């Protein structure tokens, strides 16, 4: 296994300052005048405690590469095209039952510059912050069936018992006909079913 140091494009989340969360901040496909390129997807789920109770009023932020595997970050020099209609960042507040939803573009895989033929699988970074916990929590969403997962050193730093909690599952119930495929990703904060969060020093 090759240990991959995470770059600023991996670690740097969106910066919103003190602006309030707006109604369309959770739809990354409607932030510009045109349609972004790529497969439209819906990612939905709940933020929960170890008992399965939803945690309301949690700020959920996401950031990701575009469909070509390119971040908008200035330090991302991967030779893939930028999409002028996709910024790759969004946020929302969980509802009374802890639920959240995002509409976005399925991110592309991308090579790790400087390492021979090492690729990161498609993933979405997620940051959580809320009144029920004291520090910012960060994890990554992966997609079931991705062949690159078995080679990814960041995914494989998670204990085997936690890896399943990092995989978004196909969600037929929330898939919208002729519009977007849905994935379910529940975020359990504590207990045996909890999501694997990145170490604080990694941020």
Place of tokens 């993933």: 123
Active-site entry in 70, 106, 123, 142: 123
pLDDT band at 192 (very low <50, low <70, confident <90, very high): confident
Average pLDDT, the chain: 88
66 near 88, Cβ under 8 Å? yes
Active-site entry in 100, 120, 142, 183: 120
Average pLDDT over residues 131-139: 82
Does 71 qualify as catalytic in the annotation?
A: yes
Domain boundaries in the chain? 8-15+40-202
Average pLDDT over residues 135-141: 91
Does 123 qualify as catalytic in the annotation?
A: yes
For the segment 164-174, what is each residue's pLDDT rounded down to a tens digit? 999 999 999 99
For the segment 70-106, what is each residue's pLDDT rounded down to a tens digit? 999 888 888 899 999 999 999 999 999 999 999 999 9
Does 78 qualify as catalytic in the annotation?
A: no
For the segment 46-79, what is each residue's pLDDT rounded down to a tens digit? 999 999 999 999 999 999 999 999 999 888 888 8
Q: What's the confidence (pLDDT) of residue 148?
A: 98
Active-site entry in 70, 91, 106, 125: 125
Distance CA 46, CA 188 (A): 8
Residue 202 scores a pLDDT above 50:
no
pLDDT band at 14 (very low <50, low <70, confident <90, very high): low
Determine phi and psi for 46, rounding to 5 degrees: -135, 150
194 near 188, Cβ under 8 Å? yes
pLDDT band at 115 (very low <50, low <70, confident <90, very high): confident
pLDDT band at 6 (very low <50, low <70, confident <90, very high): low
Q: What's the confidence (pLDDT) of residue 56?
A: 95
Does 73 qualify as catalytic in the annotation?
A: no
Distance CA 113, CA 148 (A): 16
Q: Which tokens in the block code for residue 34? A: 């045109």
CATH of domain 8-15+40-202: 2.60.130.10
Residue 12 scores a pLDDT above 70:
no
User: Which residue, among 118, 110, 5, 9, has the nearest Cα to 67 in the 3D structure?
Assistant: 110
Does 110 qualify as catalytic in the annotation?
A: yes
Average pLDDT over residues 145-149: 97
Residue 199 scores a pLDDT above 80:
no
Residue 22 scores a pLDDT above 50:
yes
Active-site entry in 70, 91, 110, 142: 110
pLDDT band at 2 (very low <50, low <70, confident <90, very high): very low
């Amino acid at each position: 296994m090759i240990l991959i140091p995470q770059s600023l494009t991996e670690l740097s989340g969106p910066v919103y300052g003190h602006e309030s969360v707006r109604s369309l901040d959770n739809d990354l496909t409607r932030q510009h005048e045109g349609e972004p390129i790529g497969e439209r997807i819906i990612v939905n789920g709940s933020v929960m405690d170890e008992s399965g109770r939803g945690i309301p009023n949690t700020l959920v932020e996401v950031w990701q590469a575009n469909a070509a595997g390119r971040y908008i970050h200035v330090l991302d020099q991967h030779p893939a095209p930028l999409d002028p209609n996709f910024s790759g960042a969004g946020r929302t507040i969980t509802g009374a039952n802890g639920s959240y939803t995002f509409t976005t573009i399925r991110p592309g895989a991308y090579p790790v510059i400087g390492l021979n033929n090492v690729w990161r699988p498609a993933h979405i970074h997620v940051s959580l912050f809320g009144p029920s916990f004291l520090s910012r929590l960060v994890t990554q969403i992966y997609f079931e069936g991705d062949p690159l997962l078995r080679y990814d050193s960041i995914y494989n730093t998670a204990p085997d018992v936690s890896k399943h909690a990092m995989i978004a599952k196909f969600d037929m119930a929330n898939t919208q006909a002729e519009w977007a495929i849905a994935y379910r990703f529940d975020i359990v904060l504590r207990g045996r079913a909890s999501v694997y969060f990145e170490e604080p020093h990694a941020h």
